[in-house]
Amino acid sequence: MLIKILGSGCAKCNRLEQLTREAVAELGLEASFEHVTEMDKIMAYPIMTTPALVVDEAVKVSGRMPSKDELLGWLKAG
């Protein structure tokens, strides 16, 4: 599983990465993380605001902080 956090590296982006890492660990999944901060790479995704979470190239959320339950649901679904 490849998980990307899209954002400039602001506090919300870092918090999203931390929460996602916790959810991955809780589920016992194997995942690699990538923090995408380059604006041209971020704009390649269909999002309007950051932070955004991309799991295996599928955008799961952008512009808001998801709940832990949401994260767990998305990660379980793969």
Cα 67 from Cα 72, distance rounded (Å): 9
Each residue's pLDDT tens digit, 29-77: 999 999 999 999 999 999 999 999 999 999 999 999 999 999 999 999 8
pTM: 0.94
Which domain covers residue 6, as residue numbers? 2-77
Question: Which residue in the list 10, 27, 43, 58 is annotated as catalytic?
Answer: 10
Question: Which residue in the list 5, 13, 42, 53 is annotated as catalytic?
Answer: 13
Of 47, 25, 24, the residue nearest 36 (C-alpha):
47
Quote the crossing angle between the two packed helices 11-27 and 68-77, to the nearest 10°. Answer: 60
CATH number at residue 12: 3.40.30.10
pLDDT score for 77: 84
9 band by pLDDT with thresholds 50, 70 and 90 = confident
pLDDT score for 66: 96
Cα 62 from Cα 47, distance rounded (Å): 6
Tell me if residue 8 falls in helix, strand or coil: coil
pLDDT score for 30: 95
How many domains is the chain built from?
1
28 band by pLDDT with thresholds 50, 70 and 90 = very high
49 belongs to the catalytic site? no
10 belongs to the catalytic site? yes
pLDDT score for 74: 93
